[in-house]
A and B are shown apart, each in its own frame.
Chain A
Amino acid sequence: MATKRVLVIDDEDVVQEVLQGCLEDVGGWETLLASSGSEGLEIAIAKQPDAILLDVSMPDMDGVETFQQLQNHSATKDIPVILLTAKIQPADRARFSQLGIAGVIAKPFDPMTLADRIATSLGWDMNDEL
């Protein structure tokens, strides 16, 4: 099975870097990085990642709006999206679930289990990857 490719969309450069470390150096996947929702949309259309890790709180276009644009685009509507958020209210979780989001991961997260949690959410077999 080919190596998974995950697109990270987060406006915080340092968080991008850490996520990249978690996914590449722990998960063994490839990562694509975007600093805004619009940039992420372009990369997703062009590169067709296996999954998207999407930050909720971003200026201009936030995570939810970005997700809706991904859903509205034929090239990206089937790509599973996992939200990264500092908002961990139960109401938020229910709202995200209704939107059709594959999973929600709260910040801060454990860098050693992040890849596992994503794989579990998406039904990926990690043994195949390693």
Chain B
Amino acid sequence: MPDRLLLVLKGSHLTIQQVSGDAMEIIGKRPQLLLKKKLKDILGKKQSKLVKQYLHKHQEANHPLELAVKYRKQTKFVWGTLHRLGKLLILELVVPQQAEVALRQQVQRERLLAETAQRIRKSLDLREILQTTVKEVRSLLQADRVLVYRVWANGTGSAIAEATSPGWIKVLDFVFPEEVFPEEARHNYLQGRIYTLADRDRGEVVPCLVDFLAQIQVRAKLVIPIVQKDNLWGLLIAHQCGQPRTWQDWEVNLLQQLATQLAIAIQQSELYQQLQEELTERQRIENALRQSEALFRSLSESSPIGIFRTDATGAWIYVNPRCQAIGDFTWEAALGDGWQRFIHSEDRAEFSQQWQAATADNQEFSSEIRFVKPDGTVRFCRLRTAPVSAAREEIAGHVGTVEDITESRAIAQMKNEFISIVSHELRTPLTAIRGSLGLVANGVYDRKPQRGQRMLQIAATQTDRLVRLVNDILDLGRLESGRVALVKQPCDAATLMLQSGDTMRGNAEQHGITLSVVPLKIEVWAAPDSIVQVLTNLIGNAIKFSQPCSTVLVTAEAIRASAQASANAGEPTPYVLFQVKDQGRGIPADKLESVFGQFQQVDASDSRKKGGTGLGLTICRSIIQQHGGRIWAESILGAGSTFYFTLPVPPDSSLCKCGTAEDGNQTSAGN
């Protein structure tokens, strides 16, 4: 039986209360000297701290604690086991047999190795793994410095993790030159060989290396390679700085095993890192894809043009909201060939044939079709497609656009009609001019001067007609294209009325007509020249279509409309109403609106007989509309016509401040 010593401990300082056994044999002290001593005095601070931690951790449980105690100034190991017995602690110290010591040491080393390996392998972060390794190994070997040395591809290397005892220089991030690490050494390490140096100063290394080692304060060292597959990743190095050290076999083995664990941990970390990078990259790609998807979806979903996509057979697999709105069909109804049901029945058969041929040939396709909405309205659409190529030049389908051209088509038609009419209207005076001048120029009337004179007169009057027509076309073009903005300003209605009257008075006298202007002194918000143009045009028409001895009357009145009345009438509040009244032949009810259209005289021969161009009222309407006003005509056949137009008053007009009239329609007397 080995010798045994029992110490009964008590209190927070773990004071020895009782001693039983051979104290002299085990720890070289007489029992009396141990009584009342504190445990730390017997075991040292480190072991004592371990005991306290154990007690703190296992306050209730009854786990025995095993301690390896190397009592101060004693060479042999003493094994201690701590037991809890109620409030008492009993420390049992035993001097083990030598074989048992070796076994226990082996067990302890393996346990340390396992714990250290576990700590190293616990993390996937390379920096943390390396730092844990150097710290644990230094603690395990009680070395002065432990490094992880990274071997770079170019032959150099550097310490990338370091644990160093206080007082010794640190070599972290120190780049060791290639000479320090010759190819031969690299080769040996790759074969798994280790390097031990017990004492730098015992002639085992070349002098230059001795200097270098001295420079970094290395007296003894142990170097273990870290090999990954066939690659020397780095070295695990333990330094003894202050004194020589003969490295024990168990120390070498321990470090070798840790290097193996480290290599695995590094590989795992690198794989993890690689995985993380791949995940990050995948996330980045997914984000980019999401953004791209959002971008293209917004392009399609918000597009003002209808967009659709077909599969390789031409069946619709996507239709954007605008396209659905154009055809007034739903997504579900449009998919496949469903959309073709909404094509006008007259177009469907022919279109379907063209569509099948185009999708079969994988050609670009363009066609005009009519969609019929559920309410029966017809929309003219331009449909275009282009094939979408997939991998290996296969056709994945077609992408197409649907554009509603109903309005633009109507405008184009109106434009063509206008050009056709203008062409005719221009050619008529040109024919007369060309013909009459041609006859005179060729001497046909050299002997008939009166006929020649008549031809020249025709040429002159038709030239005037042509000039008026060209001017009116240009005026209308400018007004309707918006190229010339009307500059509005406060201007006096009376002045505009009188100026127009003065301009037209000679004309009225020529026709034997009384022109009566009753000016109204009030400000209107208008471009004065254009309003004079409107008034003279209306007065001119009135004169043209009046019988001699009749009267053309020009008046105006201020209207203070209520907000309600204004909303119903469509005029701004308040406004000035102008009237040009004649006693002429009148306008049929069905032409009261159309007379404001281009070349829409009541009688088609009016342009010839009355000298009008057929654009005057169209120009008047355009001018008034650009003032925010309204123009219309009322008439009694055979009794005369009255043309009305409205103009707004300036924003700061007194009319604006008067509020609403009691009856909503008050007339001011003219002066």
Contacts and interface: CB of A to CB of B under 8 A. Distances in A.
Specify whether A and B are partners: yes
Nearest to A112: B442
Interface majority SS (helix, strand, loop, mixed), chain B: helix
B431 A21 contact: no
B438 A107 contact: no
A107 B455 contact: no
A19 interface: yes
A18 B605 contact: no
A22 B458 contact: no
Given A11-B605, A12-B432, A87-B420, A18 B439 contact: yes
Nearest to B434: A108
Most chain B C-beta atoms within 10 Å of own C-beta, residue among A12, A18, A58: A18
Interface residues of A, number: 24
B462 A14 contact: yes
Contacts of B428: 12, 15, 86, 107
A87 B422 CA distance: 11
A100 interface: no
B412 to A, nearest CB: 16
Given A86-B428, A107-B431, A18 B444 contact: no
A22 B440 CA distance: 11
B451 interface: yes
B168 to A, nearest CB: 106
B431 to A, nearest CB: 4
Contact of B427 (A14, A108, A111): A108
B427 A86 contact: yes
Contacts, number: 87
A77 B182 CA distance: 122
B435 interface: yes
Contacts of B430: 107-108
Given A26-B439, A57-B424, A107-B427, A14 B432 contact: yes
B423 interface: yes
Interface string A48-62: 000000000111100
Given A57-B424, A86-B423, A87-B424, A15 B604 contact: no
B30 interface: no
Contacts of A60: 604
B533 to A, nearest CB: 27
Contacts of B429: 14
Interface in A90-130: 107-112
Contacts of B420: 87
B30 to A, nearest CB: 138
Interface string B598-622: 0000011100100000000000000
B154 to A, nearest CB: 84
Interface string A18-31: 11011001100000
Nearest to A113: B438
B444 A26 contact: yes
A2 to B, nearest CB: 23
Interface in B459-491: 461-462
A42 interface: no
A25 B443 CA distance: 11
A111 B434 CA distance: 8
A18 B445 contact: no
B431 A18 contact: yes
Given A11-B608, A14-B461, A18-B455, A25 B445 contact: yes
A87 B608 CA distance: 19
Contacts of B445: 21, 25
A115 B83 CA distance: 144
A13 interface: yes
A39 interface: no
A111 B428 CA distance: 14
B432 A25 contact: no
Interface string B567-610: 00000000000000000000000000000000000011100100
Given A107-B431, A110-B438, A111-B439, A18 B458 contact: yes
Most chain A beta-carbon neighbours within 10 Å: one of B427, B435, B461, B462: B435
Q: Give the residue among A25, A87, A108 with the most B Cβ atoms within 10 A.
A: A108
Given A14-B461, A87-B424, A109 B604 contact: no
Nearest to A17: B458
A17 B454 contact: yes
B320 interface: no
Contacts of A15: 428, 431-432, 435
Given A15-B431, A21-B444, A112 B438 contact: yes
A70 B448 CA distance: 36
A86 B438 CA distance: 18
Interface in A33-50: none
Contacts of A108: 427, 430-431, 433-435
B232 to A, nearest CB: 91
A22 B439 CA distance: 7
A15 B427 CA distance: 11
A25 B451 contact: yes
B116 interface: no
B338 to A, nearest CB: 39
Given A22-B439, A86-B431, 11 more contacts: A12-B608, A14-B429, A14-B458, A15-B428, A17-B436, A18-B455, A21-B435, A25-B451, A86-B424, A108-B431, A112-B439
Q: Return the 4 tightest CB-CB contacts between A and B, nearest first.
A: A59-B604, A18-B435, A86-B427, A108-B434
16 contacts: A12-B608, A14-B436, A14-B462, A17-B455, A21-B436, A25-B439, A25-B444, A25-B445, A25-B448, A57-B424, A59-B604, A107-B430, A108-B433, A111-B435, A112-B442, A112-B444
